[in-house]
Amino acid sequence: MQYKSFFKNNACAMLICKNDPFSTIVEANDAFYNMVGYTRQSMEQVHKNRFANIVCDELTDILEKVSNAINKGDSLDYEYRICNQQGEILWIHDIATYDPVSDVFYVVIMDITYRQVTLESVSKMANIDSLTGLLNRSHLEEKITQEIELLKLSSSFAMCLIDLDNFKAINDSFGHMIGDHVLSTMGEKLSSLFEHNYIIGRLGGDEFAVFLTNIDSIEALSAIAQTIVDSLVCEFRGVVVSASVGVYFDKTGTYDFKSMYEAADKALYCVKNKEKGKFDIQFSSIV
C-alpha cells in the first residue's frame, strides 16, 4: 500500500512498462498523464497504451540502449524527446530499472524541456552577433570551415568581404546609437538578399562577410557582388552609407578560410583605395 501511494502521488511522472518493442504502459500515475496531456482513456484509444508511439527520436537507438541495459543488469538513464497531446515537443530525462522476474521496467520521467530551451538559447547567443542577428566572427569561421571540408573539391567557393563606406561619419555626427541602427539595418538587408544556405556573418565593426558555394562563373559572381553594392545603401540626415565589396573566387575548391579571407581582403583593399562603393573580384589561377 505504501508503494502504491508513493507511485500514485509522486510529483514525477512514473510508469510501469512492458519489455516489448512498444514499451506498452501497464500502469502510470497522474503526473505522467498531466505531462503528456492525455487521459488514461485517450492514451488507450489513440496510442493503445504504447509509450513508443509518442517518442520523437529514433526508436532503434533507444531499443538498443534498453537491450544493453538488460544484458548488463544496469539501469537506463538517458534523455530524448516525446510529443504531447498538443503536438508540442518535450525533452525528458528517463531513469528506468528492469525487473527480470515480471519482465517490466519501472520508469521515472522528468520534464527537462526548460533546461534544453535554456541551453539552446545560450548556445545561440554565443554564436550570434547580438546587434545584427547574423553569425558572429568565430561561428562564421567555424561554419565556413565546415562547409569547405564538406564540399572540398566538389564545389567552387566565393568569399565576399563587405565594408561600409562613410560609416565613421555616422558615428561621429550622430552617435553610436544611430550607428548601431545603421549596422542592424544593413544586416537585415544583407540577410534578405540570400537564401538560407548561404553563410552570412558580421566580422566586427562595419565589416560583413558572405560565403557562397556552387558559383558557375565570374559573371554570376559579379552579378551577386553588384546586387550587394546596390542594396547596401543607407542615408541618414544627408550622410550616405554605401558598401565596398572584395571577393575571392576559388574555382578549384582547394582553399581554406584563412587563405580565402586574406585574398578577399586584398580585393577589398583595392576597392577602398580606388573607388568606394564598387566591387573587385580576385580568383584562383584556374577559372
pLDDT tens for residues 229-278? 999 988 888 888 899 999 999 887 778 889 999 999 999 998 888 888 89
Distance linking the first and last C-alpha atoms of the chain: 80
CA distance 277 to 271: 8
Q: Are 84 and 51 in contact (CB under 8 A)?
A: no
**Ranges for all domains in the chain classified under CATH 3.30.450.20:** 2-117
The Cα 52–Cα 105 span in angstroms is: 13
All three cell numbers of 190:
544583407
pTM given for the model: 0.60
Q: Whole-angstrom Cα distance, residue 159 to residue 240?
A: 25
Distance CA 214, CA 286 (A): 15
Which residues share a beta bridge with 94?
Answer: 78, 109
Please tell me the predicted confidence (pLDDT) of residue 287: 47
Low-confidence ranges of the chain (pLDDT < 70): 1-3, 119-125, 195-197, 285-287
Residues involved in catalysis:
206
The domain over range 128-283 is classified in CATH as 3.30.70.270: yes
CB 245 within 8 A of CB 279: yes
Q: Phi-psi bin for 15: left (phi > 0), alpha (psi -120 to 50), beta?
A: beta
pLDDT at site 248: 94
CATH 3.30.70.270 region(s) of the chain? 128-283
pLDDT at 85: 93
Strand partners, 281: 247
What was the pLDDT predicted at 25? 94
Containing H/E element for 92?
strand 89-99
**Class of domain 2-117 (CATH, top level):** alpha beta
